[in-house]
Amino acid sequence: MSDGLTSVRRMFEGYKTGKIDDAQEYIHPGYFNPDALERTDSRGPEHFANCVAWLHNAFSELHFEELEVIENGPVLFVRVVMSGRHTGDLVGWPATGRAFYAEQLHLCKIVDGKVEYHRDWRDDLGVLRQLGLPKAA
């Protein structure tokens, strides 16, 4: 297992548990996830912490099941299933209490053994449907 894959798995553990006091060990000082631009312009572990806080504000019982990893030098593609329960505000929608699961693809670039860039493609529409949001017209 590469140092990069170890760091990516630690990143997912941080997303799952919210425990990120050691994030500087696996998150690069220049870490950036473009999906968080609407919430923060920070970088590094602070940027990661913002992403984790946002996720935990909206969801509980989080779990990430790793389905596939493709490693190509400093770039890793990780396919996971994320599951949890909607127990907090989700971009203006109040908690529904409903459980959900959705497949995701994550692209991570590793620099100096740490996650420096993180981009994800998620089935957000599928999650919203499982939560009963938004109502179909």
The amino acid that residue 97 corresponds to is: G
HSE, CB side, 13 Å, CA atoms: give it for residue 25.
9
120 is catalytic: yes
The single residue of 3, 41, 120, 124 carrying the catalytic annotation is 120
Amino acid at 95: A
Phi, psi of 41 (to 5 degrees): -115, 15
Q: Which residues are catalytic?
A: 120
